[in-house]
Amino acid sequence: MKELIGASLKYQAGKLQVLDQYLLPHEEVWHVCRDVENMQSLINNLQVRGAPLIGLAATLLVAYLAEQEATREELREAIDALEATRPTAVNLKHCMDCLRHALQQDDFVGEIVFRAEQLFEEDVALCQRIAEHGVALVDASDNILTHCNTGALATAGIGTALGVIFTAAQKYGNIHVWVDETRPLLQGGRLTAYELERWQIPYTLLCDSMAATLMAAGKVDKIFVGADRIAANGDFANKVGTYNLAVLANYHNIPFYVVAPKTTFDAQCAHGGEIEIEQRNASEVTGVSGSFGACQWAPDRTSVFNPAFDVTPASLVTAWVFDSGIYNQPAFSSV
């Protein structure tokens, strides 16, 4: 497999390495991944995260195993096991389906490696096209609110929603970003803030519950979010808390944009009610942990509701930004 390098995933000198996003922003640790169990752990523990990146990390591991002379059956088992790690994000399923097709070919090793390289490079190109389309929705001096992390850490390229913001900042130089902390795992406070700081884009961090106050004060011009799965009717699943923002944006007449690659669109899913929502560990809500350590603030027997994602109805979306263009509600059926 040839050299492939992204912000948080790389294949160099025969080694597959992933940046530990759980330890960011204070520690930058790269893990070498050589087996399925290791990759499953990295994905489940959110050391590898972001819908596009999860799919690509799993794909590169299968390609690595193929080059290490894993049998056809071993590769089939690896693909099935990796797909089962995160059920909501459709990008992982898309990538694994591509590898299943490659596995049926006579030269399955060569075909898997080719598909892995192709998917990685395609994601870089998709991110670039998304940004080129999405920047048309941004005006100079905009104050943009975003949720979770949708930047280069979550993709092979410059990102989805955050990639649009990065491109707009390069174009205008005076974009400001409101960053939701993104409870319970703080992807906004840890990862989006980390990326914006590296890119030298002005930002302000806020608790998720403060967004309504900002909107009421007229301090939010637009909202850009990513997606983990978009249903055929335009409903979409994204990091929990996104639905809240969509309702608030609708009330305050603020444009609400969903930004994603075509690999996130699931034509086989009729509507948001069919999207499986992953339930996460209670400890993510009863306390907090990271490179800074860990603590628990809730009583030991606390009952917890902790869905990783919520579903936002299409009726609350101003437009969807794909690599193929911008689609408003009347045009979405042509995606």
> Mapped to the 3 state alphabet, what secondary structure does the chain carry?
CCCEECCCEEEECCEEEEECCCCCCCCCCEEECCCHHHHHHHHHCCCCCCHHHHHHHHHHHHHHHHHCCCCHHHHHHHHHHHHCCCCCCHHHHHHHHHHHHHHCCCCHHHHHHHHHHHHHHHHHHHHHHHHHHHHHHCCCCCEEEECCCCEHHHCCCCECHHHHHHHHHHHHCCCEEEEECCCCCCHHHHHHHHHHHHHCCCEEEECHHHHHHHHHCCCCCEEEECCCEEECCCCEEEECCHHHHHHHHHHHCCCEEEECCHHHEECCCCCHHHCCCCECCCHHHHEEEECCEEEECCCCCCCCCCECEEEECHHHCCEEEECCEEEECCCHHHC
Tell me which of 228, 266, 310, 323 is the catalytic residue.
228
Annotated catalytic residue 228: yes
- Which active-site residues does the annotation give? 228
